[in-house]
Amino acid sequence: MWQPVLMISGYILGILGLIMLVPACYDVLVTGMEWSPFFSTAMIAIFFGLSLFLSNYTKIERITLKQGYLVTAVSWVSVCLFSAIPFWFHGSVNSVFDAIFEATSGITGTGATIMNDVESLPHSVLLWRSLLNYIGGLGIVIFAVALLPFLGIGGMQIFQHENSDSNDKFMPKFSYIAKRIVFVYLFLTLLATCTLFVCGMGWFDAVNHAMSAIGTGGFSTKNNSIASFNSFPIEFATTIFMLVGALPMTFYILLYRRANPDKNKQVRVFLKLVVTYALLLGIYLYSTSDFSLWTALRYSFFTVTAIVTTTGLASCDYTTWGVWITAVILFLSLTGGCTGSTTGSIKIFRWQAIYAFLRKYLLSAIEPNRVIPMKIGHVNMPEKVTMSVFVYVFSFLISLVVMTVVVSACGLDLRTSLAAVTACITNVGVGSIDLIGPSGNYAFFSNTVKSLLCFAMLLGRLEIITILVVFSKSFWRS
């Protein structure tokens, strides 16, 4: 059982090592260093990766579902650990725990940081942080397309049915769709980079923020995130590309093939929700603060988009808007983007499934003899998928509560614990309180709390069930 798991994990570590050569080359070619610590870390990752790959090499004809779970868990944990090495070697952090926290936050697309002064970091380290956001975002899309359909909780089955004709099979093989997802991902990043440059960013900032926006990761090259630029064109472009990253990557493939975006109910509902939330928040800000209507809408659209898409970039410090914003941010954090996208949290499809079930239940209470189908858009919801969605949402909320209690037991007050765990398990990164908000960071937490929050990030990024299955006794008995 373990041979293909270790082989694939070794292959992924080897790829990670090659990616480390990007900031290494930046150190040497751009900054003029004779030797970069990234070369050392790259060799370590490549050595361990090749060792695992070659020592466990075998012809893989079929991966079982159990091996799929193990590959996912082992590869993500190992990537988080090896991604932390450059931070430690480069002297950017004070402890191994800080390095692991920063790396886990980056690769899971959470965007939470322990860095007190991001702008003082070498450009190669800033580039590495953004690359982690980027490869993590692509990794979760591939994970969603490859594994979640087996669970029935990802929503990709419904998406395929919504956007495929009966005589046109959308996914003839995984390699077919994976190649196209990578192409779309790279194209969108290039487009975002050029757009941000035209809007006024330098090339280095544009590349980093493009990777952060498309990967919905949230790492920035500035202490005050997007607010440092104080530019409406930059905020507007970043908002658009955060939304772009929150839509399914397969949606763009179908858009190119059929040019008919109206068939996907999930995308339309998501965009309507973002606009509605932003308008309501903007109007509320305008009526309760000194902001002009334009400023209120400008801040609300960016903030709502950043939180709902779980990107976590900031154009202002929303924690100064009042105590009520805590509840608003917590609510927005639990929304999430579309399934098959780079976003975290619960996601729109699952909320659609819950709404459809609630609607059916209420109608059945009034008309018990009426046959009411469970539908999302024009697609019938299989009972198995509906049940899996409820299991997932229940597991997510229970995990949120349990993690909050455990973190509170480490000596933190309940409000801080809830804000930190919610920000990490939803992969939003920035919290709803000032300590860990746009102007704060996670550096003050103890190593124990940082470790727990790392687990929360992985738990949320791998859709809860994956981790719970691996930790269950029955998984290891069978």
pLDDT digits (tens, 9 = 90+) for 296-349: 999 999 999 999 999 999 999 999 998 888 899 999 999 999 988 899 999 998
Q: Say if 117 falls within a structural domain.
A: no
162 pLDDT exceeds 50? Answer: no
Mean pLDDT of 2-7: 87
- Buried/exposed code over 434-467 (b: 16+ C-beta within 10 A; e: otherwise): ebbbbbbbbeebeeebbbbbbbbbbbbbbbbbbb
Counts for the chain of helices (H) and strands (E), in that order: 20, 2
Q: Say if 127 falls within a structural domain.
A: no
Q: Say if 246 falls within a structural domain.
A: yes
pTM over 0.85: yes
Q: Say if 243 falls within a structural domain.
A: yes
Q: Say if 184 falls within a structural domain.
A: yes
Contact 227, 238 (CB under 8 A): no
CA–chain centroid gap for 286, Å, is: 31
> What residues contact residue 440 under an 8 Å CB cut-off, 6+ apart?
431, 433, 434
How many structural domains does the chain have? Answer: 1
Q: Say if 439 falls within a structural domain.
A: yes
Q: Say if 111 falls within a structural domain.
A: no
Per the structure, the complete domain to which residue 246 belongs is given by 156-478
Phi, psi of 252 (to 5 degrees): -70, -35
Is residue 471 exposed (0-12), middle (13-18) or buried (19+ Cβ within 10 Å)?
exposed
Which long-range CB contacts under 8 A does 170-175 form with residues at least 24 apart? 170/250, 170/254, 171/145, 174/145, 174/146
Is residue 365 exposed (0-12), middle (13-18) or buried (19+ Cβ within 10 Å)?
exposed
Contact 175, 165 (CB under 8 A): no
Q: Say if 19 falls within a structural domain.
A: no
CA–chain centroid gap for 52, Å, is: 28
What DSSP state is assigned to residue 381? P
Mean pLDDT of 165-191: 70
pLDDT digits (tens, 9 = 90+) for 426-439: 999 999 999 999 99
Residue count of the chain: 478
